[in-house]
Chain A
Amino acid sequence: MTPHRPVGVPILRLGDVLVTGLLNELDDRAAIAFTEELTARISAEGARGVLIDISRLEIIDSFVARTLMELTTVSRLLGARVIVAGMRPPVAITLVELGIELVGVETALNPEQGLAALGWRQAQEPLGGSRRGAAR
């Protein structure tokens, strides 16, 4: 509702999948605002999947982890499957040492694999089959 410093990147729609991401500057208010915006978009556009790119996050502390888990749960309650993609390897190591497993959060190595898991496919022939590559 209240516009605030952007924390998320814009939420794009590709078919029935929403694609977005998180930036380092996530704080409480921003996390709440982002959750509200994302859930409103899921509902309004009937999204079945959400891809959240986190490759820009230099750290994930327990606050950001909690935000990711809540985003995933709220989205699932609305019928959308969330995939979090692009976690940096040092972040993964640190999360495990922190004792946080992000239970219930599906992950992918990168956005491309995340989109594939959500039903998107790369165009088979880059030159010929131009219109393919869209989701089911």
Chain B
Amino acid sequence: MAPHGESTVASWPPPTHRAGDGGTGAPVTHQVRTEEDLLTVRHAVRAATVDAGFGIVDQTRVVTAASELARNAYVHGGGGTLTIEQVRGPAGRGLRLTVKDDGPGIADLDTALTDGFTTGAGLGHGLGGARRLMDEFTVHTGAGQGTVVVASRWTVR
């Protein structure tokens, strides 16, 4: 929620960060307010996974997780933002996605993470499925508090 470094970029492609420099470019935040934004975000995440050096299957996992989380923010959160960050861990490079919305929040997180649970038009695999596709996954939410999901995946695990 803290408005740290609000570098809001609505255009694509995002500013280039140099590949192979340790992968710590500045985080880039994208709006998730319209259906078109969902596509823009997917393209940006795809480009970031390529930059980070992910293979094609991992690229697909991360982009799919981003799509689920962005759609959640759009549908359930009334719109939000998705921030992409190149990170470096002990074992190698990775990508961290932070998806925020100021929606009603999730009253019962355990239930929301259960497969088959849905309040919307999906299949109810969004949140739990996205968690399985990523290496690290935390959710900060509560009724009336909005939702922040931070999800990372590493190129080497």
B60/A94 in contact, CB under 8 A = yes
Q: State A25–B123 Cα separation when bound (angstroms).
A: 19
Which residues on the B side are within 8 Å of A91 (C-beta)? 60
A76 an interface residue at 8 Å Cβ cutoff?
no
Size of chain B's interface in residues, with CB distance under 8 A? Answer: 27
Q: Is A90 at the interface (CB under 8 A from chain B)? A: yes
A61 sits at the interface (CB 8 A): yes
- Contact of A99 with B128 at beta-carbon distance under 8 Å, contacts A66-B121, A90-B59 already known: yes
B57 and A94 within 8 A (CB): yes
**Counting CB contacts under 8 A, is A100 at the interface?**
yes
Number of contacting residues on A, CB 8 A?
23
Using Cβ atoms and an 8 Å threshold, which residues of chain B touch A65? 123
The CA of A98 and the CA of B122, in the complex, are separated in Å by 13
- Is B39 close to A, CB under 8 A? yes
Q: Which residue of A lies closest to B133 (CB)?
A: A97
Contacts of B71 in A (CB 8 A): 61, 63
A62 at the interface (CB under 8 A from B): yes
Q: Which residue of A lies closest to B57 (CB)?
A: A90
A59 contacts the other chain (Cβ, under 8 Å)? yes
A98's contact among B39, B57, B125, by CB below 8 Å, is which? Answer: B125
CB distance from B10 to the nearest CB of A (A): 18
Q: Does B2 contact A (CB under 8 A)?
A: no
Query: A125 on the interface (CB 8 Å rule)?
Result: no
Chain A residue with Cβ nearest B126? A62
Interface residues of B in 99-138 (CB under 8 A from A): 115, 121-126, 128-130, 132-133
Taking Cβ atoms with an 8 Å cutoff, the residues of B that contact A are 35, 38-39, 42, 46, 56-57, 59-61, 63-64, 67-68, 71, 115, 121-126, 128-130, 132-133
Interface contacts beyond A94-B60, A99-B125: sample of 5 additional A-B pairs, CB < 8 Å, sorted by A: A59-B63, A62-B126, A62-B129, A98-B64, A98-B68
27 interchain pairs (CB within 8 A)? A25-B39, A28-B121, A59-B60, A60-B64, A61-B68, A61-B126, A62-B123, A62-B124, A62-B125, A62-B126, A62-B129, A63-B67, A63-B71, A66-B121, A88-B60, A90-B56, A90-B60, A91-B60, A93-B57, A94-B60, A97-B61, A97-B132, A98-B125, A99-B128, A99-B132, A100-B125, A100-B129
